Amino acid sequence: VNSYKIIESTLREGEQFANSFFDTETKVKIAKALDSFGVDYIELTNPCSSEQSFQDCKTISNLGLKAKILTHVRCHMGDAKRAVEAGVDGVDLVIGTSRYLREYSHGKSMEMIQKTALEVISYLQSQNVEIRFSSEDSFRSDLVDILSLYKAVDRAGVHRVGIADTVGGATPRMTYDVVRTLRGVVGCDIECHFHDDTGCSVAGATHVDTSVLGIGERNGITPLGAFMARMVVTAPEYTKSKYNLKELKALETLVADAVEINIPFNNPVTGFCAFTHKAGIHAKAILANPSTYEILDPEVFGLSRYVSINSRITGWNAVRSRAEQLGLSMTDEQVKEVTAKIKQMADIRPLAIDDTDSILRSFHLELQQS
Ligand code: HCA
Ligand code: CU
């Protein structure tokens, strides 16, 4: 994978998150922040959902952003017409193809689905918008069924076909197999949409659906930040030159505030401890060469690492580095001595950074006075 595109769905899938309520102003703010970050597409809620959804879709389509504006609609003519009226650049069509959805949701046969799909696609082509066609619950659909459907829509000229792990049950291996098989059947781009019910949402194709912090229906989809963390390792040149990675933290904070949640402590890149090193053995190596224990360089995201010395498992190399930061000069023997004091204190109670700093300072003061 040397290049890929992001279809950012915070303003569609993300609106399906339990806590989400986005007023127009918030949507516009988020859309602008996503655009500034550099995402390729911004996907919006179906304009048929409500009057305000239609208005917001129009408003965002008219902002003149660099990102292409998409809306996500059911595969039927009424929805497609409303999408075009809203002025979007592209339309993401979706229809359920698994037995579950065909029996318990819309009740259509595969023949009916294909017929409707081709009609809707030909209408959208006449309106010059970009078209994506996706099945819903792809991984629990009959593979032969969806492959022949995709073949037909590819021949009809869609820009992308999508596969969706709607219930979050697919493994990376299953994803690889389906995408590879599909690659042999269609010539257009392939988009992936993964739910995170079993913690496997970071794996991908040419176009990947994300949302900020992964917010979405149930426990959401591929988080933009985790995906960036993955891709900065997998495709560093492309990822670093294309996306404004230094804006990630502000973007996440904006969305977290809007939906009233905290950024998880263990979030990739922006979790409060993502670049905190604690054990003495780690700290020593990190200070010598950060790559020893860091697959990601925090600076790439405009962040910095932190070497903790506030615990019983710290080591003297870490303490020496902190002493240097504080401008306290000591010999190695002295550093080892004060490290022992810190460990002794840390065995008794949890220490804060202020505690260890003052242990260092008073130790240094005693040295000067003696
Ligand atoms: C849903 C639909 C969807 C669609 C994905 C897509 C899913 O909200 O139930 O069109 O790419 O997960 O299947 O989000
Ligand atoms: Cu979804």
Q: How far apart are CA 182 and CA 191, in angstroms?
A: 11
pLDDT in tens, the chain (370 residues): 678 999 999 999 999 998 899 999 999 999 999 999 999 999 999 999 999 999 999 999 999 999 999 999 999 999 999 999 999 999 999 999 998 888 888 888 999 999 999 999 999 999 999 999 999 999 999 999 999 999 999 999 999 999 999 888 788 888 989 999 999 999 999 999 998 876 666 655 688 999 999 999 998 999 999 999 989 888 899 999 999 999 999 999 999 999 999 999 889 999 988 899 888 888 988 899 888 888 899 999 999 999 999 998 899 999 999 999 999 999 999 999 999 999 999 999 999 999 999 999 999 999 999 8
> How far, in Å, CA of 124 to CA of 80, rounded?
7
Ligand 1, residues at Cβ distance < 6 Å: 13, 16, 72, 92, 94, 134, 136, 162, 164, 166, 193, 195, 209, 217
Please report the sign of the dihedral spanned by the C-alpha atoms of residue 15, residue 167, residue 189, residue 102. negative
- Contacts of residue 30, Cβ cutoff 8 Å, sequence gap at least 6: 10, 11, 22, 212, 254, 255, 258
Mutation choice for ligand 1 from 11, 102, 136, CB with most ligand atoms inside 8 A: 136
Beta strands in the chain (DSSP E): 5-8, 41-44, 68-74, 90-96, 130-136, 160-165, 189-194, 207-210, 276-277, 306-307
| Catalytic site includes residue 282 | yes
Q: Which atom of ligand 1 is nearest to the CA of 136?
A: 13
- CA-proximal residue: ligand 1, atom 14 (nearest): 13
Of the bound ligands, which one is closest to the alpha carbon of residue 193?
1
Pairwise CA distance, residues 326 & 91, whole Å = 57
Query: Is residue 124 a contact partner of residue 153, using CB atoms and an 8 Å limit?
Result: no
The owner of tokens 């959902």 is 49
Nearest atom (ligand 1) to Cα of 134: 10
Q: Which one of the ligands is nearest to 167 CA?
A: 1
Please report the atom of ligand 1 found closest to the CA of residue 96: 13
Q: Output the CA 92–ligand 2 centroid distance in Å.
A: 12
Model pTM?
0.85
Cβ atoms of residues 211 and 8 within 8 Å: yes
- Residue of 193, 194, 196, 219 best suited for mutating to test ligand 1, as the one with most atoms within 8 Å of CB: 193
Helix residue spans in 62-142 (DSSP H): 77-86, 99-104, 110-126
The H or E element spanning position 318 is: helix 316-325
Q: Which atom of ligand 1 is nearest to the CA of 92?
A: 10
Structure tokens at 71: 């809306």
Burial bucket for residue 337 (CB in 10 Å: 0-12, 13-18, 19+)? middle
**Burial code of 74-101, b = ≥16 C-beta within 10 A, e = fewer?**
bbbeebbbbbbebbbbbbbbbbbbbeeb
**Which of 8, 12, 13 to mutate to test ligand 1, by most ligand atoms within 8 A of the CB atom?**
13
Residues whose CB is less than 8 angstroms from the CB of residue 349 and which lie 6 or more positions away in sequence, other chains included: none
Burial of 327 (0-12, 13-18, 19+ CB in 10 A): exposed
Report which bound ligand comes closest to the CA of 100.
1
Tell me how far the alpha carbon of residue 166 lies from the centroid of ligand 1, in angstroms.
6
Tell me, in angstroms, the distance from the centre of ligand 1 to residue 325's CA: 50
HSE-CB for 8 with a 13 A CA cutoff = 29
Q: Residue 90 C-alpha to ligand 2 middle, in angstroms?
A: 18
- Please give the Cα distance from 199 to 179 (Å, whole number): 19
Selection from 26, 201, 343 nearest residue 359 by Cα: 343
ipTM exceeding 0.90, yes/no: yes
Phi (first) and psi of residue 193, to 5 degrees: -135, 115
Distance 141 CA to ligand 1 centre (A): 14
Q: Which tokens go with 306?
A: 């932190």
The bridge status of strand 276-277 relative to strand 189-194 is unpaired
